[in-house]
Structure 1
Amino acid sequence: MPRLLWASLALVASVVGTAVTAEPVGWTAPGAGNPLLPGYFADPSIVRHDGEWFIYATIDPWGGETLGLWRSRDFRHWTFSTLNWPTKSAASSPTSNTSRVWAPSVVRARDGRFWMYVSVGSEVWVGVANHPAGPWRNALGDRPLIPGNFRPGYHMIDAEVFVDDDGTPYLYWGSGLNWVNGHCFAVRLKPDMVTFDGEPVDVTPAHYFEAPFMFKANGHYFLTYSWGNTTRDTYQVRYAVGASPLGPFTEPRDAPLLATDSSRNIISPGHHAIARIGTQPYILYHRQALPYPPAGDTVLRQVAIDRLVVRGNRLDPVRPTHAGPVLPGLAKDRGPTRTPRLTASHVVDTVHAAGAAGDDNYATGWDAGKGPAWLQADFGVPMSIGASELRPAFVTSPLTWTLQTSLDGQRWRDVGTARTATGSPIALPVAGRARYVRLVFADAAPILEWRFPESDQ
């Protein structure tokens, strides 16, 4: 499977896109801030509560049994978990299809509770919780809010809720079929967050396919959305402006807000959320994982964040970056770490060399393919080596390893027994006095980062 997931770097330059001045920070640069999250995720939604950030996302490829949740207090160190609800088995109806759990939208309502609007199958379900991490429960018992056959001929997915300044909630959703004919439906909700206050209206602007997100600034309502095909290089974010939450909405220009830039290896950005950090708005979105395109039909996306500029009733085109923005009041980077020389038993290609697992960049990583393999850290001389942390590329897939140490690279001792875990980061125990630390895998899997934080030594 890894050989299908990673394509040759040479293919990146062949993708057609809009050329602009090269960014100083390329996608393989050590310490790059984008991707923001370590792993393959899409369709992000974000909330802040009690000084902590929560990002909900689709688990790639194409969703999982539940959603992925990432938590951080400084916007740099993220911890992964999964939610108790929704699950594919718990949220299913006669109009569901085989699609899994994807495309969450989470907001806090006037009642102080958190509400989730999420696609399970190809219909919209609603959950409610007192805390962003849950526990969540289905707000409607055992039925969806919007069944799959609510508007025949259209895709009932990608629901987003917007809460206006007066506390009134509005729901937006809808897509097309076979990557064409997307339609956006909107309706005001009653204070209970699950009852339509009036009939849904079709507010589809030009160049709409899916993933609506309402954003208000300077008294204007900006309906933002995705257009194109996320499996190719055509996916992009566009926007239209209206005087009310229910439109009508008009695109101010025939140009994308955020689009492919193949000259800088940024491919198919889309399905976004907008959040303010301080007073500054930022756009959180997914884009194709690199190298691109992958072999076969695998779709892997990663979450990034960049600055959004509002000027009156217009939004400036977003310049997507690999460096990522410096966020006010939050950590600029992921902090100091020891940097041993990394080597490995073997790699699938030069792009995925062992050193890529030590560059503090979530776009890159070591990949040995399937089968037995090892990844080794060399500290140069024997020293006291503390705990470390591992960030696998596929955080929901079980990873089994044995940790070994050596003073001379010849005689090895096991630190504990073989262990299996999922998640990110995976905490590895204190290694003790050694020069070499080695992870031995019975069946290798791609590793994005293996870090030895200085504070843990």
Structure 2
Amino acid sequence: MGGANFPDPSVIRVADGWHAFSTNAVVNGKLVHVQNGYTPDYNTWTLRSGVDAMPDLAPWVYAGSPRVWAPDVIQLPDGSFLMYYTAAYKKMSNLHCLGWAKSRYVDGPYIDTSATPWICPTAQGGAIDPAGYLNSDGTRWVVYKIDGNASGHGGSCGNTVAPIVQTPIMLQQVNAADGHTLIGDPIQLITNGPADGPYVEAPSLSYLGGKYVLFFSSQCYQTPQYDVSYATAPSITGPYTKYGPLLVTGSNGMTAPGGLDLAINGNHAIWHANYGSGRAAFTGFVALSGNIVTASTFS
């Protein structure tokens, strides 16, 4: 997409090709809440420049600085589409919460009329980075990050000064038909340790090579240490063992790669890395052998 600023990308495959969505950006002087792009072949991409996939904000979102981040789109059994997203919470505008919005069409417009956020653990710092997953047994799940570093004690990305706050990646089952009715309590999959810097974030779940693979980023996104890592498990609920990193500064000439997402149970990956004054989308293929994920990149 010509190196356009397209951070925190996600991708969904439908009949006509792959559609990607990203965090908000200013395009031609206008704030676009959710950007989107398209490719029929996973090689030649078109950015729908200036088109907003979610032009109107839900009542619970802080309109003064909405910070709509990390959208992720799934298709429901009735053929409609649902977008999970992050936004600033009006009642506590320093924190972020999760919402969902619906559309008849993959490119939107997506609409959320909810008066309150969907998932919002404010006592733990809020939540960001939701991503949907449809398991082979028909159950539907969402992974997300509890944004503990939002209430951290300083340092890199707000959370390298002791005491370090936990930023766990959570797994939540949802109703398979509607994509948002919560089933049971969330399950912690991993959390940040000494090797992860201030946090683990940007989770994405897939099934590769006979194992569940949880992709995530660690280190601070504002530094060259930001990366794409992963953990594997024999069961969707874990236990997950961390491996990697998969992509780091220097991989294929990139700087601070992060936020990897895959079309569900496929090998087509998308992520971002620093480019110019923003973060451009990069694409490639991933594969798992044993517990080792490899990536081949081409654009």
With normalisation by structure 1, the TM-score equals 0.53
Check the 8 A contact 1:258/1:317 in 2, yes or no: no
Match of 2:148 among 176, 180, 202: 176
Partner of 1:39: 4
* Alignment deviations for residues 235-256 of structure 1 (CA, whole Å, 9 cap, x no partner): 10111112222222111x4x30
CA distance in 2, matches of 1:249, 1:41: 29
Aligned partner of 1:246 in structure 2 is 237
Gaps of 5+ in 1: 1-35, 291-298, 325-457
In structure 2, the residue corresponding to 1:152 is in which secondary structure? helix
Amino acid at match of 1:70: G
- Structure 1 residue 94: Cα displacement: 7.4
Structure 1 residues 95 and 42 mapped into 2: Cα distance closer, same or farther (>3 Å)? closer
**Contact 1:161/1:170 (<8 A) preserved:** yes
Point out the structure with the larger strand share: 2
Kindly tell me: are residues 301 and 232 of structure 1, through their superposed partners in 2, closer, same or farther at Cα, counting changes over 3 Å? same
Contact 1:40 1:59 in 2 (8 A): no
The within-5 A match list for 1:355-366 is none
Provide the TM-score with structure 2 as the length reference. Answer: 0.79
> CA offsets, 1:242-273, max 9 Å, x none?
2222222111x4x30111118x6411000111
CA 1:256 to 1:48, structure 2 compared with 1: closer, same or farther past 3 Å? same
Partner of 1:111: 78
Aligned-partner SS, 1:308: strand
**Partner Cα distance (2:200, 2:226) in 1:** 10
Higher relative contact order (CA 8 A, sep 6+): 1
Q: Where do 1:135-284 residues align within 5 Å?
A: 135-138=109-112, 141-147=114-120, 150-174=121-145, 175-177=147-149, 178-180=157-159, 181-191=166-176, 192-205=178-191, 206=193, 207=196, 209-251=200-242, 253=243, 255-261=244-250, 265-275=253-263, 281-284=267-270
| Larger Rg, first or second structure (1 or 2) | 1
Task: Pick closer, same or farther for the CA change 1:204–1:132 going to 2, 3 Å.
Answer: same
Deviation of residue 46 (structure 1)? 1.0
User: Are the equivalent residues in 1 in contact too, given 2:168–2:200 (CA < 8 A)?
Assistant: yes
The count of corresponding residues between Structure 1 and Structure 2 is 267
CA 204–37 in structure 1, closer or farther in 2 if over 3 Å, else same: farther
Letter in 1 for 2:288: V
- Over the aligned positions, Cα root-mean-square deviation in angstroms equals 2.7
What residue ranges of structure 2 are gaps of 5+ in the alignment?
Answer: 89-95, 150-156, 160-165
Instruction: Calculate percent identity across the aligned residue pairs.
Output: 24
Shift of 1:95: 7.8
Once residues 64 and 202 of structure 2 are traced to their aligned partners in structure 1, the CA distance between those partners, rounded to angstroms, is 19
Counterpart residue type for residue 132 of structure 1: V
Residue 281 to residue 212, structure 1, CA distance change in 2 (3 Å)? same
Comparing 52-61 with 101-110, which one deviates more in the overlay?
Answer: 52-61
SS of the residue corresponding to residue 143 of structure 2 reads strand
User: For the Cα contact (< 8 Å) 2:83–2:101, is it kept in 1?
Assistant: yes
Counterpart residue number, 1:301: 279
Q: Which runs of 4+ in 1 moved over 6 A?
A: 94-97
Matched ranges for 1:348-427 at <5 A:
none
Report the Cα distance in structure 1 between the residues aligned to 2:62 and 2:111, rounded to whole angstroms: 20
> Which letter does structure 2 place at the counterpart of 1:196?
L
The equivalent position to 1:50 in structure 2, one of 15, 19, 32, is 15
- Check whether the contact 1:65–1:100 (CA below 8 A) recurs between aligned residues: no
Letter in 2 for 1:83: D
